[in-house]
Structure 1
Amino acid sequence: MTGYDGVTDRVDGLTIAIVSEDASGMGEAIAGNLADRLPFTVVRPESAEAAKKQLHDRELQMVVHIPADFAGQAASPDGQAKIGFLINESNPALIKSMMSGAAETITAEVNQQAVAMGIKGTLTGMNMPEEQAAAVSGGLSERVVSDVQSVNPVQGMNNQMVPMMMVLASYVGAMIMGMNLEQSSMAIASATGRWSRFGARSLINVISAAAVSLVGASLLAALGGQIQEGFLHLWGFQFIFLLTFMFVSQMFLYVFGMAGMLFNIMLLSVQLVSSGAMVPRELLSDFYTGLSKLLPATYAVDGNMNILFGGPGVGGDLAALLVITAFAIVVSAAAVVFKTKTARQPQAVIAGRQQS
């Protein structure tokens, strides 16, 4: 509950870029007014191409484009001025919903601003007859329309939910598998060495991650799921993040024993909130935003969106997942060493008493 508290009050965490190519001054005036009145953070990129790149990299949530002929179209009695909106759908579904609503609001706002800015005088200065200028300015609020386009379009709500479902199913499966491995390890502890068990569990993790990720990617492809970057990319990335989930969930079991399942359940809930699968991380509190950078589900969701829908690539996500995996392995190995030392101390005491 604390993760979603105040989400609607943080819309200023979402960023919109306004690009004006209108040289008449009208576009700059409209852009300035929008920057002052919109609840979002507004930036002014140098060019439309720079804005599109930032949008593709998810640094922006929407690009507002005022074309070069905006004033001319607004001045033409038979013309229709358009404002372009570009939305990246390779994001949580809430982004598209909020930005689509914002596009409607901005269009209405521009209509009101255009009339309030005294377009009648501007048109008159363009040698348009005063009566015609009055007619055009009076009807301008109904002649500025929006042109909403999308990049990395998502084909339906069923595909939109895939990143969240993949992460949820993978972590729950990793938790259950880890619990079974812990129970099996405890059952054979007296007959096997600690490092033999550790190595066997690690090998089982690798083999299981490869097999399960292949099945998962195959099912997604067989059911007609959207895969922008291809099957092999999906399989490879799913193998990495599933392997990370396995080592992270088992890390708590190595450290706390079966009580580590409580930490896994808590971590699952936290990751569903902070990963950005349902609610954009930009709308979360600073605590959850910072926490998300330390958890593997964040990078699993980002990478899945990039592969399934399109995006900037998964190199950074893969690197983060591998670092988290290495950390989990080191902590697990340290827990094995520490528990072995603490187990030897009582045995040494018992042996000393028997000798005496």
Structure 2
Amino acid sequence: MVTKNVTTQVTTQVASQLTTAKVTQMLAQSAGKALMQKQQAVAKQQVKQQLQASLAKSPQLAQQPAQLKKLQQQAIARVKRQQQQRLMPQVKKQAAATAATLTGQVATTTTKLHALPTNYQYQFAPMFLNLGAYLGIMLMSLVLTLMFMSARHVIGKWSALLAVQLNGFIGVLVAPLVTLGTLRCLISFSSSAFWQLFGVQVLFGLAVFEFTLAIAFLCGGLPSMILQLPLLVSQVVASGAIIPRPALNGFYRWLSTHTPMPQGVYSTFNALYGGANSGYTSALWWLISLSLLAVILIGWLGYRSTKTNPLSRLVPFTAGN
């Protein structure tokens, strides 16, 4: 819809510009020069006839070159003025007709890079698939953070962190099988598209898990929801599924290149309907690497206390578990 509206606006603007007074004046000047050139022979003949008539009335003018030259210049100026008065309406009419012809020739050809179906189930599939996956993985990272805060007092900080990472990886592998299986029941796509989507969703899931886990570690579990939920909503806006990325303001455009949700939406869209994923894949790998590094640094620098707190007791962990 946005593409169609932009195409219509551009076509209308181009067509209106071709009929402006400036363009019409330019065409009038061009047409006027052409007509004046055609009338030069007629003008010369008229000047010659007028001079002959003047000499017939006053033969002594032949003996006065200066006076004769002055009469010739006056005759030329008078003939030019008469021609301009007679030709201007004709020139304006021709210029307007030419401008109208140019407007009628304005046509557009739209080349679509993606064959997107008209059904809304297909159009909204990339956004809702990634939105559901993001929300589920975010909640998983929050629960695993609470388990880490409890388990580190029993099995050690680094063992608990490794367990969190392994559980998160298993969840990221299992989640796409459920979400894509459900999506396959709602819309139709090929088996090759399914496995391409599976790879995209696993990579997207890893990025989301490490990204949300870093925020959860930084804020101590549950308090991170104050930041996580507004960030999720902002990513939905920045994902390009509602408003195209070029139409976003500076904040959302920055967010669309530094958070996982927009990369997942664009990658899913390209996997379903065609397109290259190299740039979005690279962005997801960078997010995974930087977020994992942030998790390790936060776990190393923080969580040094050996005393439990109310948040670490929300999900109790014992050696028998």
TM-score (norm 2): 0.65
* TM-fit CA distance, 1:218: 2.9
Distance in 2 (alpha carbons) for counterparts of 1:154 and 1:337: 47
Residue deviations 1:317-346 (CA, integer Å, cap 9, x gap): 1121111111111111122222343448xx
Distance 2:232 2:282 in 1: 21
Distance 1:226 1:140, change over 3 A: farther
Runs of 5+ consecutive residues of structure 1 not aligned to the other structure = 1-92, 345-356
- Unmatched 5+ stretches in structure 2: 35-89, 308-321
- CA RMSD of the aligned region, Å? 3.6
1:249-297 residue CA offsets vs partner (Å, 9 max, x unmatched)? 1111112212122221122122123232222232233333233322122
Which of residues 229, 240, 262 is equivalent to 2:226? 262
CA contact (8 A) 1:103 1:146 kept: no
Q: Is the 8 A contact 1:227 1:309 kept in 2?
A: no
Q: Retained in 2: the 8 A contact 1:228–1:310?
A: no
Q: Which protein has the bigger strand share?
A: 1
User: What residue is the counterpart of 1:297 in the other structure?
Assistant: 261
Bigger drift between 177-186 and 163-172 goes to: 177-186
| Segments ≥4 residues shifted beyond 6 Å | 119-122, 133-136
- How many pairs were matched up? 249
CA distance in structure 2 between the partners assigned to 1:136 and 1:120 by the alignment: 14
Please name the residue that 2:156 is paired with: 193
**Structure 1 counterpart of 2:107:** 146
The answer (yes or no) to whether the contact 1:115–1:140 under 8 Å persists in 2 is no
For residues 1-356 of structure 1, the aligned pairs below 5 Å read: 94=2, 96-106=3-13, 108-109=15-16, 112=19, 118=27, 137=98, 140=101, 143-151=104-112, 152-158=114-120, 159-225=122-188, 230-257=193-220, 258-311=222-275, 313-343=276-306
- 2:117 match: secondary structure: coil
Amino acid in the other structure paired with 1:118: L
Structure with the greater alpha carbon radius of gyration: 2
Distance of aligned partners of 1:157 and 1:146 in 2 relative to their CA distance in 1, 3 Å threshold: farther
Q: Which residue identity does 2:107 align to in structure 1?
A: S
> What TM-score, normalized by structure 1, do the two folds share?
0.59
- Rate the CA distance shift 1:227–1:150 in 2: closer, same or farther, 3 A: farther
Counterpart-to-counterpart distance in 2, 1:102 and 1:139:
19
Q: Which residue in the other structure is 2:42 paired with?
A: none
CA distance in 1, matches of 2:99, 2:15: 15
| Cα shift at 1:138 | 7.5
State the distance in 2 between where 1:224 and 1:188 align: 42
User: Is contact 1:167–1:300 with CA below 8 Å preserved after alignment?
Assistant: yes
Q: Percent identity?
A: 23
Q: Which secondary structure does the structure 1 equivalent of 2:111 belong to?
A: strand
Per the alignment, do residues 117 and 331 of structure 1 end up closer, same or farther by CA in structure 2, a change over 3 Å counting? same
Q: Higher helix fraction: Structure 1 or Structure 2? A: 2
Structure with more relative contact order (C-alpha pairs < 8 Å, separation 6 or more):
2
List per-residue Cα deviations over 1:21-61 (Å, max 9, x = no partner): xxxxxxxxxxxxxxxxxxxxxxxxxxxxxxxxxxxxxxxxx
Q: Indicate how the Cα distance of structure 1 residues 107 and 326 shifts in structure 2: closer, same or farther if over 3 A, else same.
A: same
User: 2:15 and 2:169 mapped to 1: Cα distance?
Assistant: 55
Relative to 1, partners in 2 of residues 1:337 and 1:154: Cα closer, same or farther, differing over 3 Å? same
